[in-house]
């Protein structure tokens, strides 16, 4: 088997991984690079000359996994049939592990999709204590090892070197999750209200904005936002500069990103769906959706900013980590 040869000659195990923002910091970690050979899972799937609807594609992939015999398989989900295959394979190969890396904060810490609640992997690397307790409660009778690993992207940076600024430029960034047609009117009102108070409004749209999605057989439209200053740059690069007086976000992971880079934040979560308005973010931050139409001055908004509360939110959801994959972390004694 290929992994046996690599281990014998190169002293390294083979790891198959899915390319993603959350897996990249793990596979590029210097310690991991010295211990593992990383192979892109997608490149293997693409080599198999069958469509995903053809069962032969999965039979061939299972055979390839037997040939490679990877020590670890790393993905960011367990939802699709591809990931189900990995779990079936590792169940039959006890010395290997199927690892899933948490890749988002769900709906501000609320997991409203049943398929996401119940783990279908050997190891789940989650961001912090809140998520660890949450998923351990969902999976009390499962053998999945849930590890507080930290957010891999955050783990690559020294947050102690970052500082909050006291900007008073009048520039505000709004970084929402994808805005569908139903929520558009709320955001249009927010944009107008913030501008009316004298702020310069900039918007960092979600990657899905301007696209359509089929969900449970229904088409959901995320229309292009018109009449706003849209920032095309990578959100992380924008947040690093800390040039805005504050960032407004909703249940998106973008809010945690903003706090990580020590930007001041405000929470705006429209709609009446309970999980969107009553969640882990709302335990720490005031939802300005309740009162934003009543604001009359900039000072009213500035008074709602609370570094203490947003830092408490962040520390409850995110632990520090080092991105290193070690046997003592991944294998029970």
Residue 173 backbone dihedrals phi, psi, to 5 degrees: -110, 130
Q: Is the same domain home to 87 and 194?
A: no
Angstrom CA distances, 153 to 27, 254, 323, 329, stand at 12, 13, 9, 19
**134 and 240 part of one domain:** no
Q: Assess whether 121 and 179 both reside in one domain.
A: no
311-332 pLDDT tens trace: 999 999 999 999 999 877 787 6
Instruction: Tell me, yes or no, whether 156 lies in a domain.
Output: no
Rounded CA separation 117/140 (Å): 12
Dihedral-angle region of residue 111 (phi above 0 means left; psi in -120 to 50 means alpha; beta otherwise) = beta
**Under 8 Å between Cβ of 329 and 30:** no
- The whole-number pLDDT of residue 215 equals 64
Residues 267 and 300 in one domain: yes
3 state SS of 227: coil
| Residue 115 within a domain | yes
φ, ψ for residue 156, nearest 5 deg:
-85, -5
Cα distance between residue 242 and residue 189, in whole Å: 25
Same domain for 191 and 57 = no
- Answer yes or no: do 189 and 252 share one domain: yes
Would residue 106 count as lying in a domain?
Answer: yes
| pLDDT interval class at 333 (50, 70, 90) | very low
* pLDDT tens digits for range 120-172: 999 999 999 999 999 999 999 899 999 999 999 999 999 999 999 998 899 99
* Model confidence band, residue 204 (pLDDT cutoffs 50, 70, 90): very high
pLDDT tens for 234-254 read 999 999 999 999 999 999 999
Residue 41 gets which letter from DSSP?
H
Q: Are 176 and 206 in contact (CB under 8 A)?
A: yes
Same domain, 184 and 208: yes
- Report CA-CA distances (Å) from 40 to 17, 70, 74: 5, 12, 10
pLDDT tens digits, 16-64: 999 999 999 999 999 999 999 999 999 999 999 998 889 999 999 999 9
State the CATH number of the domain containing residue 31.
3.40.50
Query: Phi then psi for 164, rounded to 5 degrees?
Result: -70, 145
Query: Per-residue pLDDT averaged across 187-201, rounded?
Result: 94
| 22 falls within a domain | yes
Query: Does residue 60 sit within a domain?
Result: yes
Q: Same domain, yes or no, for 64 and 177?
A: no
CA 5 – CA 320 distance, rounded (Å): 35
- Mapped onto helix, strand or coil, the DSSP state of residue 82 is helix
Q: Report how far residue 153's alpha carbon sits from residue 261's, in angstroms, rounded to the nearest whole number.
A: 12
Q: Does residue 216 register a pLDDT over 70?
A: no
- Domain identity same for 266 and 119: no
Q: Is residue 24 domain-shared with residue 126, that is, in the same domain?
A: yes
Q: Dump pLDDT digits (tens) for 70-99.
A: 999 999 999 999 999 999 999 999 999 999
Instruction: Record the pTM.
Output: 0.92
- Segment 31-40, tens digit of pLDDT: 999 999 999 9
Question: pLDDT tens digit string along 253-311?
Answer: 999 999 999 999 999 998 766 667 778 999 999 999 988 999 999 999 999 999 999 99
pLDDT value at position 10? 87
Q: Do 265 and 291 sit in the same domain of this protein?
A: yes
**Domains of the chain: total:** 2
Residues 181 and 324 in one domain: no
Q: Which range marks the domain in which residue 42 is found?
A: 2-151+318-330
Q: What is the pLDDT of residue 271?
A: 74
User: Is 147 domain-assigned?
Assistant: yes
- C-beta of residue 317 within 8 angstroms of C-beta of residue 311: no
SS3 call for 141: coil
d(CA 187, CA 169): 22
Q: What angle do CA 103, 104, 108 make, to 5 degrees?
A: 165
C-alpha distances in Å from residue 202, one per residue of 91, 128, 220, 226, 259 = 49, 31, 25, 12, 18
Q: Is residue 310 part of a domain?
A: yes
């Amino acid at each position: 088997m290929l992994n046996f040869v690599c281990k014998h000659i190169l002293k390294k195990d083979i790891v198959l991984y899915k390319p993603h923002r959350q897996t990249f910091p793990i596979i590029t970690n210097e310690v991991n690079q010295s211990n593992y050979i990383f192979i892109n899972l997608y490149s293997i799937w693409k080599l198999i000359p069958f469509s995903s609807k053809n069962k032969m594609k999965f039979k061939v992939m299972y055979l390839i996994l037997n040939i490679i015999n990877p020590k670890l398989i790393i993905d960011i989900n367990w939802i699709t049939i591809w990931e189900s295959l990995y779990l079936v394979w590792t169940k039959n190969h006890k010395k290997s592990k199927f690892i899933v890396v948490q890749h988002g904060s769900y709906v501000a810490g609320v997991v409203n999709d049943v398929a996401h609640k119940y783990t279908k992997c050997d190891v789940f690397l989650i961001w912090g204590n809140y998520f660890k307790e949450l998923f351990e409660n969902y999976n009390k009778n499962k053998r999945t090892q849930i590890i507080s690993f930290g957010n891999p992207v955050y783990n690559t940076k020294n947050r102690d070197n970052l500082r909050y600024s006291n900007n008073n430029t009048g520039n505000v960034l709004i970084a929402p999750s994808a805005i569908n047609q139903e929520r558009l009117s709320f955001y249009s009102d927010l944009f107008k209200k913030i501008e009316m108070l004298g702020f310069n409004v900039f918007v960092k749209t979600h990657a899905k904005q301007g696209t359509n999605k089929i969900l449970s057989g229904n088409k959901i439209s995320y229309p292009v936002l018109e009449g706003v200053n849209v920032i095309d740059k990578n959100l992380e690069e924008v947040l690093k500069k800390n040039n805005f007086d504050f960032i407004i976000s909703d249940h998106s992971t973008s809010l945690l990103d903003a706090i990580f880079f020590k930007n001041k934040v405000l929470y705006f979560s429209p709609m009446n769906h309970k999980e969107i308005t009553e969640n882990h973010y709302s335990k720490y931050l005031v939802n300005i959706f309740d009162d934003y139409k009543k604001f009359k001055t900039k000072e009213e908004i500035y008074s709602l900013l609370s570094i203490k509360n947003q830092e408490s939110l962040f520390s409850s959801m995110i632990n520090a980590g080092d991105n290193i994959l070690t046997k003592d972390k991944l294998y029970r004694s």
